[in-house]
């Protein structure tokens, strides 16, 4: 299965690969060069397909847990001052997504969306310390019975040129449902209450909607 955000790009890539392969057959006489061009085009198509894949998963939702919003690797676990919404100290857990990861963003908890805002910005590499404040990003806050308010932030990386955010203020959302998509490399930060029990470690690989980030 493929995510709906990829349908247009997949179609364009498929048309280009077929068209360029036909041209290679017509205009390139050398069989080795022609074969190399066609194989390269097929590999490019496969990379596009894998980027927009939407694997089926059995989500185990739990109101007393915060799930990872995305697939990737944990790159930050620290206490920070969150100044956009809370204006106080929070525990930040950041997950970096490489281009080969599934790039669907999921709601880490169920509840009511109380804040959703897009910020234009730069395209620093996603692991840059200033990327969470200076890069293109969206910030979403979900009010949850168990944890209070949970903030998660989609951050564009050096390759990501479009962030898609589905969250609307006053919308009731389910844990692990799609909240958006980031195209071609990025990062997601989750901001938790200071008393949350972190269940992941630095450099741990996580899966969106599956891996438990924190518990009460």
**What span, in angstroms and rounded, lies between the C-alpha atoms of 56 and 184?**
21
| Residue 4 DSSP class | G
68 as an active site residue: the answer is no
Q: How many residues does the chain have?
A: 216
Number of C-alpha atoms within 13 angstroms, CB side, residue 29? 0
> 68, 131, 179, 186: which is the annotated catalytic residue?
186
Cβ neighbours for 114, distance < 8 A, ≥ 6 positions apart = 141, 142, 143, 149, 169, 170
CB-based contact 28:34 (threshold 8 Å)? yes
Give me the active site residues, please: 186
């Amino acid at each position: 299965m493929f995510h709906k955000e990829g349908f247009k790009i997949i179609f364009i890539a498929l048309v280009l690969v077929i068209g360029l392969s036909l041209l290679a057959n017509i205009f390139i006489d050398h069989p080795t060069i022609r074969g190399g061009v066609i194989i390269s085009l097929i590999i490019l198509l496969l990379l596009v397909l894998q980027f927009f894949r939407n694997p089926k998963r059995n989500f185990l939702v739990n109101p007393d847990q915060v799930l990872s919003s995305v697939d990737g690797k944990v790159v930050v676990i620290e206490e920070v001052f969150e100044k956009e919404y809370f204006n106080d100290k929070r525990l930040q857990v950041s997950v970096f997504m490489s281009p080969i990861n599934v790039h669907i963003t999921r709601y880490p908890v169920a509840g009511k969306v109380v804040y959703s805002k897009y910020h234009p910005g730069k395209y620093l590499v996603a692991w840059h310390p200033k990327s969470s404040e200076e890069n293109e990003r969206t910030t979403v806050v979900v009010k949850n019975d168990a944890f209070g308010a949970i903030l998660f932030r989609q951050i564009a990386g050096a390759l990501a040129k479009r962030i898609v955010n589905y969250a609307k203020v006053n919308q009731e959302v389910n844990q692990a449902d799609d909240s958006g998509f980031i195209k071609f490399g990025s990062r997601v930060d989750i901001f938790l209450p200071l008393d949350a029990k972190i269940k992941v470690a630095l450099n741990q690989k996580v899966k969106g909607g599956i891996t438990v980030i924190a518990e009460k």
